[in-house]
Amino acid sequence: MLHRLRRLGLSTRGYEAGAGVGGTWYWNRYPGARCDSESVYYSYSFSAELQQEWEWSERYASQPEILRYLEHVADRFDLRRDFRFSTRVVAARFDQAGSCWSVRTDTGEQVRARFLVSAVGCLSLPNVSALPGVGNFRGPVLHTGRWPHEPVDVAGRRVGVLGTGSSGVQAIPLLAEQAGHLTVFQRTPNYSVPARNAPADPVTGAAVKADYDAIRERCRRSLGGFPFDVDPRSALSVSPTEREDLYRGLWDTGGMRFVFGGFADVLTDRAANDVAADFVRARIGEAVRDPATAEALTPRDHPFGTRRPALDTGYYETYNRDDVTLVDLRRTPVVEVTERGLRTTEAEYPLDVLVLATGFDAMTGSMLAMDVVGRDGVALRQKWIDGPRTLLGLMSAGFPNLFTITGPLSPSVFSNMPTCIEQHVDWIAGCLDHMLRNGHVLIEPTVEAEDGWVEHAARVAARTLLGAVDSWWTGADVPGKPRVGYPYVAGVGAYRTACDAVTASGYDGFVLT
Ligand code: N01
């Protein structure tokens, strides 16, 4: 975004809470942190030179490698000089008389800006809300999203992991290898698909680079931001053998293809979904030796893909180790964290280290952590009290000239993030260019257009199996959070078409003054 803003001739200032660039990949340094999107797709497309020159070493890049990549991009485009690092924005207030934003940071700096672009991310504010007594624990409490920069030595120690979402599923096999004993506290069993990570294959890498433009375009027009073909048929329209063969092929290939490359109705038809869900359940049964543990790990309360599935390397097999214990919190819920460990209704588990893989106050948490006040003194926290209200996830009525990259009600987390980030950056840059050329000072959505988008996003979600399921996609994991759909789930391609139509119409649904 900064790169594009400079090219528009705007003077810019960035603020970043971390001491360096990288966002998610700066903070999430837990063992096993690795991207679930294949490296060749989880990367920028805006610079042909960059995408041709950069070489990924693995099929899925690890956190240190992605961080190196982002640092390289920052240096290559000379981005750091416009950023204040280790600086958190605490408040932003719209100044009606001056038609600008007044922004305040935790270092006491106060600046005024005509345009304000929020790139605070969808998954950055740790969710530790419902854990009584967490402050009492004598040992280290480490949230995966705030992992220390120095190595954490867990050799010979009793480690507890709370949470089995994507972060837990990635960290658990590695912590099991390092710890003296690992206890996993699981509330909701997750579907996990093998990543099948491997060293990058130079032949595939060269073929991708030769065809990058077309591949990127397919990502942009796709469901999930990947160039994968969805099988257009219903899972129920083909024979059981054919279904099994398709899912077996996707399982053996590994990765997000299993989620975004299966039958077209996996997320809309419960019976079709059962085909995918049963396939994964059967694999869990094969991987885990102890039947009771296998059953506890098997998701039966939600359809496949309605909570974000994890990708793993040896996750289920980890439970075959003698030094790993699974505690089923559905059967025996957490009572509290004590000085010595974690107590459930059944027992107290003594621990030396407690790892919280408990996720984030997703999609709106980081935005609402700032005191954002728009037109007529209306706070964003007040406006979004019953759930986020945006037009296209890009802007919210009453908050002129405030843009949100991957904001709520845009596809964002429901897809390969860089595809969506670049599309938002392009849209915002195009909008600003239009304003500068035409002498506009302010832009904001109309309330009617915004209401229409909020209703449309809810209708789309209601046509899928997603809406009814408790997850961080629906705000259910944070006590008191509005229970609505947060990402837009019609797909990256359909969403892009909607955004492009707005631009082509001269910003229909927005007021430009
Ligand atoms: O967080 P999560 P995450 N008591 O919210 C449990 C992206 N990501 O950090 O499901 C007990 O998924 C909670 O239980 P439940 C990806 O989009 C990407 O793992 O609420 N348990 C759940 O098991 C992902 O989806 C990558 O019943 C509690 C877990 O903690 C998103 O980030 C890697 C609890 C939280 O799971 C978030 O993933 C990692 C409590 N009080 C993450 N509170 C890659 O691309 C929470 N839990 C590789």
Whether the pLDDT of residue 266 is over 90: the answer is: yes
**What pairing do the DSSP bridges indicate for beta strands 334-337 and 100-105?**
unpaired
Confidence of residue 264 (pLDDT cuts 50, 70, 90): very high
Asked if residue 162 has its Cβ within 6 Å of ligand 1, the reply is: yes
Return the number of other C-beta atoms located less than 10 Å from residue 456's C-beta: 14
Distance from residue 66's CA to the centre of ligand 1 (Å):
21
φ, ψ for residue 458 (rounded to 5)? -70, -40
Asked if residue 164 has its Cβ within 6 Å of ligand 1, the reply is: yes
One-letter amino acid at 310 equals A
424, 410 contact by CB (below 8 A): yes
State which H helix or E strand residue 348 sits in. Answer: strand 348-350
Percent of the chain with pLDDT over 90: 98
* Mean pLDDT, rounded, for 241-259: 95
Return the number of other C-beta atoms located less than 10 Å from residue 44's C-beta: 18
Whether the pLDDT of residue 14 is over 90: the answer is: yes
Q: How far apart are CA 462 and CA 466, in angstroms?
A: 7
Asked if residue 390 has its Cβ within 6 Å of ligand 1, the reply is: no
Q: Token pair of 240, please?
A: 């059981």
> For atom 10 of ligand 1, which residue has the closest CA?
188
> For atom 11 of ligand 1, which residue has the closest CA?
187
State the distance between the two ends of the chain, measured CA to CA, in whole angstroms. Answer: 23
Q: Quick one: CA dihedral 135, 139, 140, 141, positive or negative?
A: negative
> For atom 47 of ligand 1, which residue has the closest CA?
358
Q: How far apart are CA 266 and CA 247, in angstroms?
A: 12
397, 444 contact by CB (below 8 A): yes
Asked if residue 334 has its Cβ within 6 Å of ligand 1, the reply is: yes
Residue 218's SS3 state is helix
Question: What is the CA angle 73-76-82, rounded to 5?
Answer: 85
3-state helix, strand, coil in the chain (%, to 5): 35, 15, 45
pLDDT tens digits, residue range 74-112? 999 999 999 999 999 999 999 999 999 999 999 999 999
Distance from residue 259's CA to the centre of ligand 1 (Å):
18
Residue 353's SS3 state is strand
Of 227, 189, 224, give the one whose Cα is nearest residue 207.
Answer: 227
> Length of the chain, please?
513
> For atom 12 of ligand 1, which residue has the closest CA?
165
Return the number of other C-beta atoms located less than 10 Å from residue 53's C-beta: 11
Residue 512's SS3 state is strand
Instruction: Encode 209-276 in three state secondary structure.
Output: HHCHHHHHHHHHCCCCCCCCCCECCCHHHCCHHHHHHHHHHHHHHCCCHHHHCCECCCCCCHHHHHHH
Distance from residue 476's CA to the centre of ligand 1 (Å):
12
Would you give the distance in Å from CA 155 to the centre of its chain?
31
pLDDT at 130: 76
Q: Token pair of 285, please?
A: 């049964």
pLDDT tens digits, residue range 365-408? 999 999 999 999 999 999 999 999 999 999 999 999 999 999 99
Give me the interface pTM, i.e. the ipTM. 0.99
DSSP state of 499: H
> For atom 37 of ligand 1, which residue has the closest CA?
359
Of 187, 331, 355, best ligand 1 pocket probe by most atoms within 8 Å of the beta carbon: 187
Return the number of other C-beta atoms located less than 10 Å from residue 214's C-beta: 10
94, 374 contact by CB (below 8 A): yes
Would you give the distance in Å from CA 439 to the centre of its chain?
36
340, 138 contact by CB (below 8 A): yes
pLDDT at 245: 96
Q: How far apart are CA 32 and CA 23, in angstroms?
A: 17
Average pLDDT, the chain: 97
Asked if residue 131 has its Cβ within 6 Å of ligand 1, the reply is: yes
* Mean pLDDT, rounded, for 357-363: 97
Q: How far apart are CA 504 and CA 509, in angstroms?
A: 12
Question: What is the CA angle 193-195-196, rounded to 5?
Answer: 125
Asked if residue 34 has its Cβ within 6 Å of ligand 1, the reply is: yes
Of 310, 285, 276, give the one whose Cα is nearest residue 192.
Answer: 310
Asked if residue 359 has its Cβ within 6 Å of ligand 1, the reply is: yes
State which H helix or E strand residue 337 sits in. Answer: strand 334-337
CA distances from 424 to 411, 419, 464, 492 (A): 10, 9, 25, 11
Whether the pLDDT of residue 259 is over 90: the answer is: no
State the number of CA atoms in the 13 A half-sphere of 76 facing the CB: 14
Asked if residue 36 has its Cβ within 6 Å of ligand 1, the reply is: yes
Of 24, 38, 166, 420, best ligand 1 pocket probe by most atoms within 8 Å of the beta carbon: 166
Distance from residue 83's CA to the centre of ligand 1 (Å):
30
pLDDT at 112: 98
- Residue listed under structure tokens 């809470």: 17
pLDDT tens digits, residue range 27-79? 999 999 999 999 999 999 999 999 999 999 999 999 999 999 999 999 999 99
- Residue listed under structure tokens 């360096």: 20
Find the Cα–Cα–Cα–Cα dihedral 404, 311, 223, 499, rounded to 10°.
10
Q: How far apart are CA 458 and CA 299, in angstroms?
A: 26
- Residue listed under structure tokens 């002498």: 439
State which H helix or E strand residue 316 sits in. Answer: helix 315-318
DSSP state of 81: G
- pTM for this prediction: 0.97
Distance from residue 94's CA to the centre of ligand 1 (Å):
34
Asked if residue 308 has its Cβ within 6 Å of ligand 1, the reply is: yes
φ, ψ for residue 192 (rounded to 5)? -130, 140
Distance from residue 52's CA to the centre of ligand 1 (Å):
34
Whether the pLDDT of residue 506 is over 80: the answer is: yes
Q: How far apart are CA 306 and CA 310, in angstroms?
A: 12
Asked if residue 466 has its Cβ within 6 Å of ligand 1, the reply is: no
Confidence of residue 128 (pLDDT cuts 50, 70, 90): confident
> For atom 41 of ligand 1, which residue has the closest CA?
130
Asked if residue 130 has its Cβ within 6 Å of ligand 1, the reply is: yes
pLDDT tens digits, residue range 154-182? 999 999 999 999 999 999 999 999 999 99
Percent of the chain with pLDDT over 70: 100
- Residue listed under structure tokens 């964290």: 337
